[in-house]
Amino acid sequence: MHLGWLEDFLALVDHSNFSRAAEARSMSQPSFSRRIKSLEDWVGTPLIDRRTHRIVLTAAGERFRQVAEETVRRLELGRAAARSEDAIDRETLRFAATHMLSFTFFPQWLRRLEAEQPVQATIALTSDHMVACERRMIEGKAQFLLCHHHDAASTEMGSDFRAVRLGCDRLIPVAAPALLKDTDPSAAPQLAFTAESGMGRILASARAPGGRIPPRHPVFTSHLASVLTAMARDGRGITWTALSLVKDDLDGGRLMRADPADEGIEIEIRLWRPRARQSVAAEAFWARIISEVRSSDELQSPM
């Protein structure tokens, strides 16, 4: 059954005449009649009472007319909605970002971009832990992934993706001053990242070559750097976290470096995208980012 057959049938109902209906459907009357007959064959019963000189629907035809009208209406609404959704999608930039960067980096970065030139698209940001963000990218639910990166750490972003370096940060161990006043850092309670955390993945991979392993029995774990930092600020233990997240706490004396001799781990802030071509809006945005990074001589191609 073809949608056109339903439209033919409804045209015949509207015009009550084969010739006028065929003309309205831009076809010859014989072709139009064959299409109506094909629809009747598909339904399995006559829809038009051909015993009369004027167009009269059979009882089955009257019943089917309601179905045909509703079907055509719903299909038209569905097509319009799909086209509208596609237009919105083509004008939307869909980002996945790790929790910390969603708060510490993304807003300022976007503000700076828009101060130079407005972004001509709707911005949709999904904030989650690293594993979930990678999954969104692989499943095509996000066009860009904003996350931290270290070459020693594994990533699901393989050869089907490419990245650009937007900036840098540093992972450092911190604790509340009161905790460290009378406690040896090596004996202090440890606050650790869970396996879903990108920070935790980086920390474990970067420290392994030096023989430093994550604490076996931390007193508290979370995939959120902000939560671990809050716990450390409350004197609950030592945690590794991003310098950008705790700079104000360090300056204000609410936290201090647990091991001043430890320079920490330098990490990158990267923006990932699929290698496959994306929407016009996404490609325009990427081209703009690449141009800006090149102009500041910070471009780095990991692939």
- Which residues touch 124 (CB under 8 Å, ≥6 apart)? 92, 93, 94, 95
Architecture of domain 3-89: Orthogonal Bundle (1.10)
What would the mean pLDDT of 268-287 be, rounded to a whole number? 91
What's the pLDDT at 241? 92
- Check whether 17 has a pLDDT greater than 90: no
pLDDT digits (tens, 9 = 90+) for 25-68: 899 999 999 999 999 999 999 999 888 777 889 999 899 988 98
What would the mean pLDDT of 203-226 be, rounded to a whole number? 78
Burial class (CB in 10 A: 0-12, 13-18, 19+), 213: exposed
Yes or no: say if 174 and 264 are a contact pair by the CB < 8 Å rule.
no
Could you tell me the residue ranges of all domains in the chain?
3-89, 91-303
Helix, strand or coil, per DSSP, at residue 5: helix
pTM of this structure: 0.68
How high is the mean pLDDT of the chain? 87
- Check whether 292 has a pLDDT greater than 90: no
- Check whether 291 has a pLDDT greater than 70: yes
Burial class (CB in 10 A: 0-12, 13-18, 19+), 162: middle
What's the pLDDT at 301? 46
Burial class (CB in 10 A: 0-12, 13-18, 19+), 296: exposed
User: Residue 46's closest CA among 54, 55, 57?
Assistant: 57
What's the pLDDT at 207? 75
* Of 52 and 232, the one with more pLDDT: 232
* Of 299 and 26, the one with more pLDDT: 26
| Interatomic CA distance for residues 1 and 100, integer angstroms | 54
pLDDT digits (tens, 9 = 90+) for 65-106: 889 888 888 888 777 667 766 665 668 899 999 999 998 999
| Interatomic CA distance for residues 87 and 74, integer angstroms | 20
What would the mean pLDDT of 115-132 be, rounded to a whole number? 89
What's the pLDDT at 285? 92
- Which residues touch 126 (CB under 8 Å, ≥6 apart)? 94, 95, 96, 97, 133, 136, 141, 142
pLDDT digits (tens, 9 = 90+) for 238-255: 999 999 999 999 999 999
**Per-residue tokens: 214:** 């994550």
What's the pLDDT at 229? 94
- Check whether 204 has a pLDDT greater than 90: no
Sign of the CA dihedral with 236 first, then 242, 243, and 249 last: negative
User: Which residue(s) pair with 269 in the sheet?
Assistant: 148, 167
What's the pLDDT at 84? 65
Q: 114: part of which helix (H) or strand (E)?
A: helix 106-116
Instruction: Give the pairing of strands 92-98 and 238-242.
Output: unpaired
Yes or no: say if 35 and 22 are a contact pair by the CB < 8 Å rule.
no
| Interatomic CA distance for residues 42 and 9, integer angstroms | 13
**Fold held by 91-303:** D-Maltodextrin-Binding Protein; domain 2 (3.40.190)
